[in-house]
Structure 1
Amino acid sequence: MEHIDRPDVTDGTTTSQPSPENPLLAESTLDYGLTDLSRIRDEHWLPALEAGIAAQREAVEAIAARNVPATVATVLHPLGLSHRLLSRVERAFSCMFSVHATPERQVVQQELAQQLAGHRDWLTLHPGLFRRLSALESPLAQDETSATPEQHRMLEKTLDEARAAGAGLDDATQQQLRAINLELTTAETAYEQLQRHEATAHAAYFPDLAELAGLTPQELAAAEAAAQEAGHSSGALLPLNLPVQQSPLEKMTRRSARRRLHQASIARGTLTDAQGRTTSQIGAQIAVLRARRARMLGFEHHLDSVLPARTAQDRASIEAMLRPIADGALARLDAELQTLREAGVLDAEALQGARSDDARADRTTELEPWDISFGFAAVAKQQASDSSTNPAQPADATSGGDVPVDEALRQVFDAASRLYGITVVERDDLPSFAPGARSFEVFERSAEQRPGAGIGLFLLDLYARPSKSGGAWMNSFSVASTLTGSSPVVINALNIAAPAPGATAALTPSAMRTLFHEFGHALHGLLAEAEFEELSGTAVPRDNVEFPSQVNEIFQELYGGGLADAGQQPAPVDLWGKGLSTFEHVAAVVLDLAWHTLSVEEAEAAAEDPEAFSAAALVAWGLDHPLVPPRYGTGFFKHIFAGSGYAAGYYSYLWAQVLAADASQWYREQLGQRHDSGPADASAKSGSPARDDEALATAGAHVRRELLARGNTRDPLESYRISFGRDPEMDALLRQLGL
């Protein structure tokens, strides 16, 4: 895509000379414009943000005041350039804060969030800008002024967002919207900060290391280090990750210790902030505010207000997708629990591990919620062992042991290289954006299999720390844009236990899948080709953004030769636990939809007792299981309450799974077709590495060009149809989940 020369367009930087005391105000001299966080102090952020806001406001006022015909060059281009400084500051802070949120930075974040909320309202509700954008709508629609399809889409998206925010409403209503938005931002920030505090406060402390029998030496060393960092002179501390099922539960053989960790996990949502509110209460108030805002915008509830920016058509289509998955997951979970009981994995453990001071519950063989992760992992090992001696039932390549970090990265990068023709090279000369993070440069792969043209940077922060947000995610310091001239600089963050000094970190099979998933997001950003930052890479509708990352998970199977089995039912060993994981996920989706499909009056009633409302929502769907709670509870559902991104949108993961499962089957079909249509020699047989590489490269190049590179520059569902030659169907997902 060509870069357009626009010498007369404001670029969104300040008109005065940048202050040398604040490095954020000047363009970075590092490769790809990487922000050097080592040069930035906490007091730099707010002045830089204010400068970015001022620069954009100056540019927008100029756009609104120009008395010339509305064209791409006079409206869209200057608007797309107006936020260069603001985006650089906002993105850098977001990347830094997510991985290292010190108490000082939490104070900074509160102020930044409020300033940004006010500025976004100013921008989307600016009457002059809205008038200029509206004036361009008709000429573009009638081809009276030249524009590319992407420019058409950029105008459509900008106007849709403005109208959804209340542009065009009367001044009094807009003032009320601004007040609600500011109150929402304050509440979301309060939820996020209290949720972080609870994760630390409820971390499970074990004075005796023997209580953590079953954990690896690496995991024990990390737990000891966490205890020392928290101020304990001895013992071990298990920090809490976001999901209700804490990963150490899979290995902990002491039942009483498992009980303590599980109860610490579900106790989140009980501590209060300075105003005496729990996270559940703050979350309920957020739901009330969102319901009020939706009504002011003319919608029945919050879900309806965000659907115009999603690919799902309506609530009915979401529930039609969800119902068969929910019913099937519950049935499969019950069958899995029965298998777990019959396997007897708890019998010997309960008898041998029981001590005289253990509670009665720890000496019974009846299943309890804290036994689920441990029991499922034990049965998985049994099944993997059985399948390894049964050629008719091959073990999943991902169900083996832990993988050293460098080998895990080799596999992830090699899969991307084989698919998309790229090369990833580590860079030791760049400043780290977080303690222990690593930097990589991504290149096109030349014909000689060596690095070619540079694409961007990939930054990786693997290890958990108290100041780091829970879970795993992708974020960006910058995104690909021919308009602004920026290149992609993306991060992946995970939360695995850091290795002990001198030891080598390793990823569990689950963490390996997470690494492949998050690198799928990274590829979506790295391989983007767009004119506007607002349409680049992962800037797709929320219920589409998880699709490329979920597709990338299947390429973990490249190392087990499993991609050529198009359309076959997965082996039982590969289906084990699908009922559990799907049930947990669906239950969390139901909670999200319940909170965000309420009228104002219903939301206010639910806020009287948030936990009772949450419980009733699960009962209504038949998902109130005594042994398996939702993946996230209302008191620790960061996705939907610590920000608005996934609010009324946690279904997006399952929605994207439908797309990903269908696309995964397409990849398998490409391998099968290539094997079937090739010459009848030894190199063309199914599973041949040479033929597989050729088939994968052909399929990957097509998907890279027609889907990953496109981002939101056209309708993502259209990109899907062009890439895979069909509309997605549910069958592949139901088969994958064993439903």
Structure 2
Amino acid sequence: MSSQKTAINPALTDWTGPLGLPDFTAFTDDDFAPAFDAALAADLADVDAIINHHEAPTIENTLKALQLSGEDLDRVSSIFWLRAGAHTNDTIQALERVIAPKMSRHYSSIMMNPQLFARIDSLYEQRDFLGLDAETDRVLEKTWKGFVRSGARLDEQGKIRLADINEKLAGLGAQFGQNVLKDESDWALFITDEVQLQGLPDFVRTAMRGAAEERDHPDAWAVTLSRSIIEPFLSFSEDRSLREKAFRAWAARGENGGTTDNRAIVADMVSLRAEKAKLLGYNSFAAYKLDDTMAKTPKAVMDLLEPVWDKARNRAAEEEADLERLIAAEGRNHKVAPWDWRFYAEKLRNERFAFDEAELKPYLQLEKIIEACFDVATRLFGIRFEEKTGIPTWHPDVRVWEVQNPDGSRRGLFLGDYFNRQSKRSGAWMSALQSQHKLDGGQKPIIYNVMNFAKPPKGEPALLSLDGARTLFHEFGHALHGLLSDVTWPAVSGTSVSRDFVELPSQLYEHWLTVPEVLEKYAVHCRTGEAMPKALLDKVLAADKFNAGFSMVEFASSALVDMAFHADGTPPTDPIQFEADTLKSLSMPDAIIMRHRTPHFTHVFSGDGYSAGYYSYLWSEVLDADAFKAFKETGDVFNADLARKLKQYIYSAGGSRDPEELYKAFRGKMPTPDAMIEKRGLA
């Protein structure tokens, strides 16, 4: 390790906190900047040692050394990016705008280094004669392709331009995400007249009261742009004018003019991405991104999306007609507007299935749904969870569990950060402070989930919607992908898989939430402790496909616009007009908007993660519907033999083998979209 380490607060790199966690009490925000500088220099020193090694390239002195380089940078980065997403402030955000492009420039210098690439290229050319095991061979191939896709074969001028593009994209992505967070955290609609709360159940009013108190309005109720508040408000508020006001603010995040407006950022990012793809020899950015996925080509993505879009739009038209009937029955003559859909859909669900979200929610306690997540993991994979209290983390709300193997040995750690706050970006996600691998003694995974549920008053249980409970299961499925990882090489650990495979473990895990025996055990009333009545349980399961057209139109329109932005080699100069034109060409229903409109589409523009890749949720859904069908076909959704194969080939294998090969090892064949279409209620 380089002597540069002396410039780093050791608490950021030598994790001496309880259970091997960082000691979050031993560093401050001001420690990050010098730590990054020192860690970046130390990483370059590690790379120089590989380049200047006196012996010919070997797996040990080149590939393995590269995999283990930059340990300090990995540790500082993992803490910093956790903070940037889950508990940020002005200091962190200012540094993020500096660090994102600096990190991009750093990795460009490594991946474009001709001497380093020459050593990797030499190993790659000899790979058939090195006696490599399958995982090492795959890591070598992925590493070589990573260098090529990062510009290692470009001439010097091309390398300079690509590095410049990557640096600009990193800075723009950081700014995009910060702009969305600011628009979300700054906006609130304060209600002081209780008459304007008509129709809102107690759980919504309680969440709104808490949000108002957090914003120093203790005598008001606040509608915020957190999904845990805005969506139930739109579902229950009988004040149409307030619904419209809140909805328009929600839809306009990132498009409000001023310093937080993202429109110019999107135009720049799409243009830079197109230029990057052409530099690397691809017709479009979508072609570049998809080359390393299961889908492979934009055409394959569209072959999936277009038929589903047609089915979804037709179903949504039927649903809209049903909502118009309810509006007419109230003596109103307006069309269904986007701020009306959830409200009248909730009424229609009550009419058809004789229950609404307010009746269901007392049975979906956060604490019990967490227990259900753990219990399903124990039944499927044998692992157990033991909560550890009194451990300092990045926020007092964060909880810590030790994860144990069936024999009682430690497998890793799981942390949960469940409640919304102004310092946290919206949405829900999984990430790792530390990923599993076995090189040089290896390391155990430290995985965390971040959510944005409304925090209840002290002493009250946190109650979830059914969608919120599904989100919890979804993100915990990602967490299991990290916790159950059992590979040798860091490059293929846990969720280090192709983008359209990574959602399989998470979306598949959602299915166990609505298994009747799981709901019967954990869906208990927050006041009485009584299990959800069978009649209500039956209604919940019967209504599982309700509003299917709306849900799929919301999603598929976002995926199609994402592909449209990135599949054309000539990027648009006006992204909002392009969004409108694309939706018009798709005959997008006027009563529904994209789940993520372009100016706040953080999946696609706050970094590079899901750019030209939002479709992957649907691609993975084809797999997850088929995978759960395999369990149902046995008559036992906890079938031990299938669970063993699921763990071996899906949750533990990471990216150690080709994803299609892994899925076939589990299921015996690749699926068709039929099970997904049936599951979605679009058949």
Which residue is 1:417 aligned to? 378
From 597, 617, 620, give the equivalent of 2:582: 617
Letter in 2 for 1:627: A
Which residue is 2:433 aligned to? 477
> Does the CA-based 8 Å contact 2:198-2:237 persist in structure 1?
yes
- Partner secondary structure for residue 163 of structure 2: helix
From 308, 316, 323, give the equivalent of 2:299: 316
> Does the CA-based 8 Å contact 1:204-1:264 persist in structure 2?
no
Deviation by residue 1:684-720 (Cα, 9 ceiling, x = unmatched): xxxxxxxx48x53332122101221101011111110
Which residue is 1:575 aligned to? 545
* Structure 1 consecutive aligned stretches of length 4 or more whose deviation exceeds 6 Å: 242-245
Structure 2 counterparts to residues 317-716 of structure 1, below 5 A: 317-342=300-325, 344=326, 347-348=329-330, 364=333, 366-385=335-354, 401-446=362-407, 452-483=408-439, 485-560=442-517, 573-599=543-569, 602-603=570-571, 606-607=572-573, 609-622=574-587, 624-670=588-634, 672=635, 692=636, 695-716=638-659
Deviation by residue 1:163-206 (Cα, 9 ceiling, x = unmatched): 11110211111111111111111211121111111112333332
Which residue is 2:132 aligned to? 147
Q: Does 2:253 correspond to 1:253?
A: no
- Please list every run of 5 or more consecutive structure 2 residues that lacks an aligned counterpart in the other structure: 521-539
- Partner secondary structure for residue 424 of structure 1: strand
Provide the rounded CA distance (Å) in 1 between the counterparts of 2:364 and 2:413: 24
Measure how far apart 1:347 and its partner are: 4.4
Provide the rounded CA distance (Å) in 1 between the counterparts of 2:549 and 2:48: 55
Measure how far apart 1:243 and its partner are: 11
- Partner secondary structure for residue 474 of structure 1: strand
Measure how far apart 1:376 and its partner are: 1.4
- TM-score for both structures, normalised by structure 2: 0.92
Measure how far apart 1:411 and its partner are: 1.1
Which residue is 2:526 aligned to? none
- TM-score for both structures, normalised by structure 1: 0.85
Measure how far apart 1:380 and its partner are: 2.0
Q: Does 2:682 correspond to 1:732?
A: no
Provide the rounded CA distance (Å) in 2 between the counterparts of 1:133 and 1:662: 39
> Does the C-alpha gap of structure 1 residues 16 and 313 become closer, same or farther in structure 2, counting only changes over 3 Å?
closer
Count of aligned residue pairs for this structure pair: 661
From 5, 8, 28, give the equivalent of 2:16: 28
> Does the C-alpha gap of structure 1 residues 39 and 478 become closer, same or farther in structure 2, counting only changes over 3 Å?
same
> Does the C-alpha gap of structure 1 residues 433 and 697 become closer, same or farther in structure 2, counting only changes over 3 Å?
farther
Letter in 2 for 1:329: A
Measure how far apart 1:562 and its partner are: 9.8
> Does the C-alpha gap of structure 1 residues 562 and 441 become closer, same or farther in structure 2, counting only changes over 3 Å?
closer
Letter in 2 for 1:481: H
> Does the CA-based 8 Å contact 1:203-1:238 persist in structure 2?
yes
Provide the rounded CA distance (Å) in 1 between the counterparts of 2:639 and 2:296: 33
Provide the rounded CA distance (Å) in 1 between the counterparts of 2:180 and 2:486: 37
> Does the C-alpha gap of structure 1 residues 478 and 21 become closer, same or farther in structure 2, counting only changes over 3 Å?
closer
Identical aligned pairs, as a percentage? 30
- Partner secondary structure for residue 455 of structure 1: strand
From 193, 206, 211, give the equivalent of 1:221: 206
> Does the CA-based 8 Å contact 1:415-1:558 persist in structure 2?
no
Measure how far apart 1:406 and its partner are: 1.6
> Does the CA-based 8 Å contact 1:401-1:508 persist in structure 2?
no
Provide the rounded CA distance (Å) in 2 between the counterparts of 1:49 and 1:482: 26
Provide the rounded CA distance (Å) in 2 between the counterparts of 1:650 and 1:116: 25
Which residue is 1:718 aligned to? 661
Provide the rounded CA distance (Å) in 2 between the counterparts of 1:89 and 1:311: 32
Which residue is 1:198 aligned to? 183
- Partner secondary structure for residue 260 of structure 1: helix
Measure how far apart 1:556 and its partner are: 0.7
- Please list every run of 5 or more consecutive structure 1 residues that lacks an aligned counterpart in the other structure: 1-12, 352-362, 387-394, 447-451, 564-569, 673-691
> Does the CA-based 8 Å contact 1:244-1:632 persist in structure 2?
no
Deviation by residue 1:40-86 (Cα, 9 ceiling, x = unmatched): 21111122222222222111111111232221111111111102111
- Partner secondary structure for residue 506 of structure 1: coil
